[in-house]
A and B are shown apart, each in its own frame.
Chain A
Amino acid sequence: MSELKINQNGQLTSLDTVDGEIATLNLGPTHPATHGIFQNILKVDGERIISAEPTVGYIHRAFEKLAERRPYQQVTPITDRLNYCSSPINNMGWHMTVEKLIGAEIPKRVDYMRVIVMELARIADHLVCNSVIGVDTGALTGFTYVFQEREKIYDLFEEICGARLTTNVGRIGGFDRDFSPVFLQKLDKFLKEFHIIFDDFTNLLERNRIFMDRVIGAGPITGERALSYGFTGPNLRAAGVDYDVRVINPYCSYQDFEFDVPIGKDGDTYDRFLVRQEEIRQSLRIIHQAKDNIPAGNYHGDVPSFFLPPKEEVYRSMEALIYHFKITMGETPIPAGEVYHSVEGANGELGYYLVSDGGRTPYRLHFRRPCFIYYQAYPEMIKGSVLSDAILTMSSMNVIAGELDA
């Protein structure tokens, strides 16, 4: 694919150049094909890309600074807005970071509930990414199929926490309420029906000759390069490296579940697509196991200094009132120390580096955003390819502007 040469004037041109003239093309900041706000200044010779210059930061919202002024429970809503396609994973990653800092013991039931919600979020995220790869190749049909299913996942989130996209789900210590019977009913229905639509989607694209011709070999990266660029998640696994935080550093009782980690070979768009497809199936497997084996117990841990007491208690009991006041005013004791905790987000290793000085807010909070780190490999991946492949590469890397810019 990458047929570039240097001509007699020392300029980089492509082999099939017409007149050797280099044009500059602005892909973005707002462009329907980038699915988010970021700019790429491309130098193109006809259809061939000679170089790319990404510019990010268009929706930078200073989350790390904001977090330094917010009590711990108030940081959760800003994590929603990182990778907004799978907010629950961000929320729970943050809660687990704080729980690690304060050394809270969390009941097994909470772990299983979290796993169910996080895997639903992963499915929703991968559905968006994979169906959009289809859209970018011109196959709109699959997108319309699975977006209905994504809506059903959002209905499930709504049943758990009342919100759909920016969920703010759960609390430090567990959940604000138990799963309702309606939720479990809806979950059963979803699990029964999802695979029918998903199989249709799979049949439309996975072994479709036209689709395969279009995506095989588009935007490849080797496993070695991917590692040195800090790739994680499906993009790294598509390049053949089996690194998955859920397996290597199991959090949230992931060691209890049986699932496979799919890996690809070439790290191209097709491999990334296939890895995400398989991860959706594995997530379903995990949800089935978690739902069937969910242990009895409390839906939150015993952390009175962080978990708000029930409202009726606040009106009746002195102790509950005190805790309610202390939590909402950010007056709870917090140990000084630093922790790094990471979860397997839908795009890769989502890390939280938290420094606490014992104050009411984090002293320093840094988000390791997988998108931000792997997007810098984009110019290298599309160099020498045609413009339409560059669009495909971007959508298959699943670059989410919110996570990119924090």
Chain B
Amino acid sequence: MENSTLQDITSSIESKFPDCTISTDNYGMTNIVCSRESIIDLVGHLKDDLGFGFLTDICGAHYPLIENQEFQVVYHLHNLYKNIRLRLKVNLATVDLAIPTMVALFPAANWMERETFDFYGIQFEGHPDLRRILNMDDMDYHPLRKEYALEDETRSDKKDSFFGR
């Protein structure tokens, strides 16, 4: 399967994981949105059968206005044989931020997941050592969430509405 093209890859995913939504954005990147139940199987399939043996990055994102999908975990995978990149996304609701860990598949995921936990509070289930990594241990909130404004909230000179948006 190492000679597969992007077309083969997406059709293979579509047949095996019908709940995934595959789309290509304006910048030529293939985005796959999948559920947290299937993410491990999907990444395992991509890694073992389709040559995506390199985990480029894991990060989180917070979209507080999208109901029941407030949080997103974004994975970037790279097929180094065919030079194809994929972006996988898993949406999570604020009430339940659990998602299975990727450490068994990629040891590199260890610190990336710790970082995502640190900044967004995503609970990676089965992670060997889910502690804060960049912030101090006794911090009691997850600072990259949008509810924590960077500056004094009474300050109005930087509001987007004053700039024609």
Contact = CB atoms under 8 A, between A and B. Distances in A.
A240 B8 CA distance: 29
Nearest to B158: A69
A240 to B, nearest CB: 13
Contacts of B87: 338, 340
Nearest to B149: A69
Given A56-B133, A64-B144, A360-B165, A368 B56 contact: yes
Contacts of A65: 143-144, 148, 150
A360 B80 contact: no
B57 A353 contact: yes
A152 B122 CA distance: 47
Given A230-B56, A243-B80, A406-B134, A340 B85 contact: yes
B15 interface: no
B42 interface: no
B107 A376 contact: yes
A62 B149 CA distance: 13
Contacts of B136: 57
> Helix, strand, loop or mixed for chain B's interface?
loop
A69 B165 CA distance: 15
B49 to A, nearest CB: 17
B27 A229 contact: no
A104 interface: no
A351 B107 contact: no
Interface string A344-378: 00000101010100111000101010001101110
Nearest to B29: A340
Contact of B107 (A56, A229, A375): A229
B150 A69 contact: yes
B17 interface: no
A66 interface: yes
Nearest to B111: A376
B59 A230 contact: no
Contacts of B76: 340, 351, 353, 368
Interface in B120-165: 132-136, 143-144, 148, 150-151, 158, 160, 163-165
Interface in B72-101: 74, 76, 80, 83, 85, 87
Contacts of A228: 53, 106-108
Interface stretch (A157-165, A185-193, A309-317, A329-337): A329-337
A176 interface: no
Given A69-B150, A248-B80, A340-B29, A57 B57 contact: no
Nearest to A67: B150
A372 B115 CA distance: 10
Interface string B17-44: 0000000011101000000000000000
A388 B80 CA distance: 35
B29 A359 contact: no
Given A68-B150, A230-B56, A100 B160 contact: no
Nearest to A226: B108
A243 B57 CA distance: 16
Given A100-B27, A249-B83, A57 B150 contact: no
Contacts of A241: 80
A405 interface: yes
Contacts of B57: 340, 351, 353, 366, 368
B130 to A, nearest CB: 14
Contacts of B46: none
B61 interface: yes
Interface in A48-67: 56-57, 60, 62, 64-66
Nearest to B57: A368
B53 A227 contact: yes
A204 B28 CA distance: 48
A303 interface: no
A360 B112 contact: no
Nearest to A342: B56
Contacts of A329: 163
A331 B163 contact: yes
A330 B143 CA distance: 24
B133 A230 contact: no
B74 A353 contact: yes
A57 B108 contact: no
B56 A359 contact: no
B117 interface: no
B151 A69 contact: yes
Nearest to B150: A69
B144 A230 contact: no
B12 interface: no
Interface in A179-223: none
A22 interface: no
7 closest Cβ pairs, A-B complex: A230-B108, A57-B134, A366-B59, A60-B134, A69-B150, A368-B57, A376-B111
Given A366-B74, A368-B76, 5 more contacts: A337-B27, A340-B87, A342-B56, A360-B165, A364-B62
